[in-house]
Amino acid sequence: MTPAAHRRGALGLLAGGAAAACTPRRRGETVLRFWAMGNEGGTVGQLTPEFERRNPGVRVQVQALPWTAAHEKLLTAYAGSSLPDVSQIGNTWVSELTAIGALSPTPPQAAGLLDDQFPAVLKTNQIGGRAMATPWYVDTRLIFYRTDLLRRAGFEAPPGTWAEWKRAMHAVKRAAGQGNFAILLPLNEFEQLLTFGLQIDEPLLKDEGTRGNFSSPGFVTALAFYRSLFDEGLAPVASATQISNVWTEFARGYFSFYFSGPWSVGDFRTRLPASFQPNWATAGVPGPNGLGASAPGGSSLAVFSSSPHQEAAWALVRYLSEPQVQARFNQIVGDLPARQSAWPIAGVERDPMLAPFRGQLERARTVPKVPEWERIVTEMQIVAERMVRGQFTPETAAAEIDRRADRLLEKRRWMLDQGRAL
Amino acid sequence: MTVADPTLARARPGRGIGARERAAWGFVAPALLAIGLFFCIPVMAALALSLTDFDIYALANLENLRFVGLQNYERLLTNPLFWGAMRNTLWFAVLGVPLSIAASLAAAVILNARVVKWRPIWRVMFFAPYVTTLVATAVVWRYLLHTRYGVINWGLTSLGLPAVDWLGQPSTSIPAILMFVVWKIFGYNMLIFLAVLQTVPDDLYEAARIDGAGPWRQFRHVTLPAIAPTMLLVSIISVASFFQLFAEPYVMTQGGPAQSTVTVLYFMYEEGFKWWNLGSASAVAFILFLCILAITLVQLAVARRLGAYQ
């Protein structure tokens, strides 16, 4: 037994002791510790009794974490050798958790879970050709728009290309009247510019993800398009905190296009009056030539390599990935199921507001899978905000983003030179 | 006092002093050991860490650790977010230290006044916030500061003033958190002031009254000089604690809106535990240490000039 195993054993004993103190524990019972975040953390407990019924001798202990602390908590738990057996993780964390060797790759008996996934979401979970986590639910961003204002501006259908979109925005701004805008692009959120960046042909990083590729002609076009929306008065120069209440501003006509994910469908339905409901719809994001990509989001289920209960842990992942269970979870929390076979069971596409998400998910494109990615897009947005405020042109902004990305990726280049990174 | 009775020193030359020194070392050894173990070694380790690029890769495997010299410091000093955090922290300290000292002193003077009845009860009431759990009180304060349902805005609007989006606007977030912090910590310094105020002899006040001094002049010429050394102590402690403000913005605003409540310590936390750049986070800790040290030295120099202590 290695010292680490000793320590883990001791920790296990301690944890076991603590668990035994809380709930009576039967001899020989396996306790699976499962961390889940946000809404899922509060509701997944409704699904676990059925799993426990089917797997006698296994008990699932769900620990709910807030999203704001989840990432830190996972890394700290890794450093302190106290990771749970299974956890929900944001699917952009997969590369980072793989880099530190925390994840247990999908075993052959669970490979079937990956058959009917959305390709871009699955790709996000694959590092070096192996699936390191199993997609649980998916989301992506598309556009929410005001059908009534668009119609008044002379557009019956939502736009399909950037050029068409720009025309529609100018017309809708005129229709909405003085003091209103056409689209909301909060300056402190990177998702909108990232979406435009994913719609171009060139990848965002080059040389095996060790250098920024933001100076590519495509990304400069995306930057120029983003900036023109502010320069032409179509988007307010504001960050999200300055918009106190997105849905009421949307209903007021302050903006007619809004980028968001499936969670906003529920918000718009519950927070806006019934009389307003016919006036909005969702549609795929316009791209440079025809409907374009956006980033695949959502959560995955990860089994940690430190867990002594690999088999039970994977059984739980398999259970939570069953189309029936995913459909039931969709009814409970409204998450879009990761497996496409669960969509018809849950009847997601019967909802006209959710149906466009299917097409958008099929068009989704994976963001670069390097552990530094989140920092890189954060820096990208800081530079983009300065560009909008006039400090950079699209070309100089692109060069500045590249400079910052290259600096953040310096360690990764060194790791690759040493042959230590994937 | 080190100079002992000269006759005694002559009677036992050399050896006696050695034995006494040994005894003295023996007495301070446990404290020195604790300081060495729990202060000097960690500080040295942090200094060493700040010269490396300890990050997520090094966490997985120590072979991925590199010595980078002063690069962490160099990058920090060119990072606008770090300077933003410095500026926010300075605002907190510049506004918070005088406010909290004034609140503590006022509370102590009121409690010390003869006319106040039920003193222990007041003392408990003023001290209670300090010993209450921070997160619980922060939750209550978030309700108090709530834009639409908060009692503070209810008070403002019933006075005919416009409601304030306390925690949602970059311009009001620092004052909002300051209100909470001052309310939370003034009780502790109040106790220190109260203890000193009770040692000021009554005859000084009596003499001042006979000379015709009113309450303000008594406070200015009797109370303040008597508590000056304590004032210095309290101000040093307050500056140090305001420079290390973390939990309040973490619980109330998570550094927002628009990074307006990111303090140096919050920045260090994000660097260290959000991005897991422990090397860079250690460099922040060191810069903060130097800042607090510099300000404390300035405070001591000013106090020496004013004659607060010898």
A227 shares a domain with A266: yes
pLDDT in tens, B231-251: 988 998 898 899 989 999 888
| B171 close to A (CB below 8 A) | no
Q: What's the pLDDT score for residue B303?
A: 82
A268 shares a domain with A321: no
| Least confident range of A129-133, B94-98, B141-145 | B141-145
User: Is A13 within a domain?
Assistant: yes
CB A297 within 8 A of CB A91: yes
Confidence tier at B7 by pLDDT (50, 70, 90): very low
A188 shares a domain with A163: yes
Mean pLDDT within A31-37: 95
Q: What's the pLDDT score for residue B10?
A: 47
Q: For residue B244, what are the contacts with CB-CB under 8 A and spacing of at least 6?
A: B265, B288, B292
Q: What's the pLDDT score for residue A334?
A: 85
The CATH number of the domain where A146 resides is what? 3.40.190.10
CA distance B245 to chain A (A): 19
Q: Across the interface, which of B60, B257, B274 has its CB nearest the CB of A100?
A: B60
Cα A302 to Cα A51, A118, A305: the distances in Å are 17, 18, 9
User: Is B63 within a domain?
Assistant: no
Q: Is the pLDDT of residue B190 over 80?
A: yes
Q: What is the number of other CB atoms lying within 10 angstroms of the CB of residue B227? A: 23
Q: Determine the straight-line distance between the first and last CA of chain A, rounded to whole angstroms.
A: 29
* Domain count across chain A: 2
B221 shares a domain with B77: yes
A149 shares a domain with A96: no
Cβ–Cβ below 8 Å for B55 and A420: no
B116 shares a domain with B24: no
Confidence tier at B64 by pLDDT (50, 70, 90): confident
B85 shares a domain with B35: no
Q: Determine the straight-line distance between the first and last CA of chain B, rounded to whole angstroms.
A: 16
ipTM: 0.71
**Chain B residues touching residue A71 (CB < 8 angstroms):** 274
B118 shares a domain with B27: no
The CATH number of the domain where B140 resides is what? 1.10.3720.10
Mean pLDDT of chain A: 88
Q: What's the pLDDT score for residue B202?
A: 87
User: Is A358 within a domain?
Assistant: no
For residues B260 and B172, give the distance between their C-alpha atoms in angstroms, rounded to a whole number: 9
Residue A101 lies in domain: 3-140+296-350
User: Is B272 within a domain?
Assistant: yes
| B84 close to A (CB below 8 A) | no
B140 shares a domain with B15: no
**Is the peptide bond preceding residue B257 cis, with omega within 30 degrees of 0?**
yes
A128 shares a domain with A49: yes
Give the residue on A whose Cα is nearest the Cα of B147. Answer: A244
B266 shares a domain with B213: yes
pLDDT in tens, A93-121: 999 899 889 999 999 888 888 889 999 99
> Which run of H or of E encompasses A38?
helix A38-43
User: Is A9 within a domain?
Assistant: yes
User: Is A251 within a domain?
Assistant: yes
User: Is B270 within a domain?
Assistant: yes
Q: What's the pLDDT score for residue A3?
A: 40
Cβ–Cβ below 8 Å for A99 and B61: no
A285 shares a domain with A161: yes
Q: How many residues does chain B have?
A: 310
Q: Is the pLDDT of residue A67 over 50?
A: yes
pLDDT in tens, B265-280: 999 998 998 888 899 9
B26 shares a domain with B85: no
Mean pLDDT within A111-140: 91
pLDDT in tens, A169-198: 999 999 988 889 999 999 888 999 999 999
A400 shares a domain with A290: yes
For residues B220 and B232, give the distance between their C-alpha atoms in angstroms, rounded to a whole number: 16
User: Is A309 within a domain?
Assistant: yes
| A389 close to B (CB below 8 A) | no
Could you tell me which of A160, A218, A217, A229 has the C-alpha nearest to residue A192? A229
B223 shares a domain with B76: yes
A153 shares a domain with A131: no
| A75 close to B (CB below 8 A) | yes
Q: What's the pLDDT score for residue A217?
A: 95
B290 shares a domain with B182: yes
User: Is A362 within a domain?
Assistant: no
For residues A306 and B211, give the distance between their C-alpha atoms in angstroms, rounded to a whole number: 79
B121 shares a domain with B266: yes
pLDDT in tens, A308-338: 999 999 999 999 999 999 999 998 888 899 9
Q: Count of CB contacts below 8 A, A vs B?
A: 48
Percent of chain A exceeding pLDDT 90 equals 66
User: Is A361 within a domain?
Assistant: no
Task: Tell me if residue B252 falls in helix, strand or coil.
Answer: helix
For residues B234 and B101, give the distance between their C-alpha atoms in angstroms, rounded to a whole number: 8
Confidence tier at B215 by pLDDT (50, 70, 90): confident
Confidence tier at A27 by pLDDT (50, 70, 90): low
Cβ–Cβ below 8 Å for A99 and B165: no
| B68 close to A (CB below 8 A) | no
> Which run of H or of E encompasses A130?
strand A130-131
User: Is B65 within a domain?
Assistant: no
Could you tell me which of A242, A205, A206, A202 has the C-alpha nearest to residue A219? A202
B145 shares a domain with B12: no
Q: What's the pLDDT score for residue A422?
A: 64
Could you tell me which of B94, B79, B90, B91 has the C-alpha nearest to residue B281? B79
For residues A326 and A113, give the distance between their C-alpha atoms in angstroms, rounded to a whole number: 12
| Predicted TM-score (pTM) above 0.95 | no
User: Is B66 within a domain?
Assistant: no
CA distance B273 to chain A (A): 6
A403 shares a domain with A343: no
User: Is B60 within a domain?
Assistant: no
User: Is A183 within a domain?
Assistant: yes
Question: What distance separates the 2 farthest-apart alpha carbons in chain B?
Answer: 83
Cα A165 to Cα A182, A184, A296, B31, B44: the distances in Å are 10, 14, 22, 72, 59
Mean pLDDT within A21-38: 76
Q: What's the pLDDT score for residue B16?
A: 57
Mean pLDDT of chain B: 87
Cβ–Cβ below 8 Å for A71 and B274: yes
* Domain count across chain B: 2
Q: Is the pLDDT of residue B308 over 70?
A: no
User: Is B56 within a domain?
Assistant: no
Q: Across the interface, which of B56, B63, B257 has its CB nearest the CB of A96?
A: B56
User: Is B228 within a domain?
Assistant: yes
Residue B250 lies in domain: 71-306
For residues B163 and B62, give the distance between their C-alpha atoms in angstroms, rounded to a whole number: 54
DSSP conformation class of A117: B
B148 shares a domain with B37: no
Confidence tier at A241 by pLDDT (50, 70, 90): low
